[in-house]
Structure 1
Amino acid sequence: MEAVLIILLVVVAILVIAVGAVISMYNRFARQRNTIEESWRQIDVELQRRHDLIGNLVEVTKAAARFEQQTLTQVVAARTQAVAAHGAGPAAQGQAEQALNGALSNFFAVAEQYPNLKANQNFLDLQQQMVETEDRIAAGRRFYNGNVRAYNTRFDTFPSSMVANFGKFRKKEYYEVDDPNVRAAPSLKGAFDSLTGPSAPTPPPGQPAIGTQPPPPAPQQPPPG
């Protein structure tokens, strides 16, 4: 009788430990899922800010210069698709943002040919805000993908995989960017250097540079008496 009681207590202890482990793994899945969803919401906020800045950038460019219309049309169309991708998931959003970044790269390349944009403070301010927004998106993407990697890895390990199926958890999508141009924040630094005017030519040896005064002649020494 005493042996049966001991066996019963051991079985109950094992069941309690097993149930506790299952509850712990389930709760961990739930916490990871919530962290991933929260980190994605932060990225989504920055993406919306990015789209607003692009819209303002297009309007400022239209007002400041007779810009190439085809380039502006491409940017507007890509921005519209990116805005429409909100809520479609990280994978679809990543594809839309990649197309938008391609249009932006072409936009900034064409902008190099317009010196009046260099003097437009609104344009430069918006461009700087875009760079800062891209930095925050990049940081948020690394944080989000790191959480997704840890979460998805648990689906491939035992016994957490059983808990995932029991709890009806699903793997999360990565926010992937295949185009290296998307990883780099668009920048106009140095883009207008060629428009600031030619540099002064280098004078031949022994001649003063253009715009400078020649040195005064050395005083004559009297001949020895």
Structure 2
Amino acid sequence: MGTAAFIILALFIVIALWAVAVYNRLRLLGNRVENAWSQIDVQLKRRYELIPNLVEVARGYMQHEAATLEAVTRARSRAVSAADTLRGHAGSGNALSDLAVAEQALGSSLGRLMVVTEAYPELKADAQMQSLSEEIASTENRIGFARQAYNDEVMEFNNKASQFPDLIWARLLGFKHLSMLQATTSEQERTVPQVRF
């Protein structure tokens, strides 16, 4: 074998090692994205399980607010369905958009329920209602942190998969750009309170 053959063989080995390293790194990052999504999914399930209990406690006090309670129940069902669709497809743009819309509707209906709760002092003072409200608030915080971790992992994956020369191998192997979770745009969250003296 001549020198040229050794150089070609060495070049082939270097390219093969680089390809394996890129694939392994993208697979590792993809697994981290899936794990981050799983953390969000766990918290969403927790919230979905708390909501029927909250509605039932409120129902005992709020006979005249059936429409509000039904809106929360319907919004929860849509959010559960959207989360089920997304499960196993972390990073899917359309499924993430559908979940974001369903989650925004659920957040809005829960917000309306909490506002209506203010008109019922007995309900507001109920120990079970207070406990459930605290649990949901705590879960919302966990969801927020999990979403941030998910977006960080997606950004790292997308950065790696879009940098040259790794971009070539990523495209050849079908690693696609993943979508990040977007902030909700509900009126309640966007309104900044005005402070005047």
Structure 1 residue 179: Cα displacement: 2.1
TM-score, normalised with respect to structure 2:
0.84
Task: Give the 5 Å matches for 1:52-131.
Answer: 52-89=49-86, 90-131=96-137
1:170 aligns with one of 166, 176, 189: 176
Give the count of matched residue pairs: 181
Task: Give the 5 Å matches for 1:170-209.
Answer: 170-179=176-185
Q: Which has the larger radius of gyration?
A: 1
Q: Which moved more, 1:152-161 or 1:32-41?
A: 152-161
2: distance between equivalents of 1:82 and 1:153? 30
Which runs of 5 or more structure 1 residues have no equivalent in the other structure? 185-225
Contact 2:117-2:123 at 8 Å conserved across structures: yes
Aligned-partner residue type, residue 110 of structure 1: V
Contact 1:65-1:116 at 8 Å conserved across structures: no
Structure 1 residue 67: Cα displacement: 4.6
Q: Which has the higher helix share?
A: 2
Structure 1 residue 8: Cα displacement: 2.8
1: distance between equivalents of 2:98 and 2:157? 20
1: distance between equivalents of 2:164 and 2:189? 35
Q: Deviations over 1:16-70 (max 9, x none)?
A: 1111111100111111111111111121111011011111100000123435122
Instruction: With a CA cutoff of 8 Å and minimum separation of 6, indicate the structure with the bigger relative contact order.
Output: 2
2: distance between equivalents of 1:91 and 1:164? 24
2: distance between equivalents of 1:124 and 1:181? 25
Identity %: 31
Assess, with a 3 A threshold, how the Cα gap between structure 1 residues 140 and 70 changes in structure 2: closer, same or farther.
same
Assess, with a 3 A threshold, how the Cα gap between structure 1 residues 142 and 180 changes in structure 2: closer, same or farther.
farther
2: distance between equivalents of 1:91 and 1:160? 28
Q: Deviations over 1:72-101 (max 9, x none)?
A: 121111111111112323332122101110
2: distance between equivalents of 1:35 and 1:108? 35
Assess, with a 3 A threshold, how the Cα gap between structure 1 residues 93 and 128 changes in structure 2: closer, same or farther.
same
Q: Deviations over 1:85-121 (max 9, x none)?
A: 1232333212210111011111111111110012210
Aligned to 2:151: 145
2:26 is the alignment partner of 1:29 = yes
TM-score, normalised with respect to structure 1:
0.74
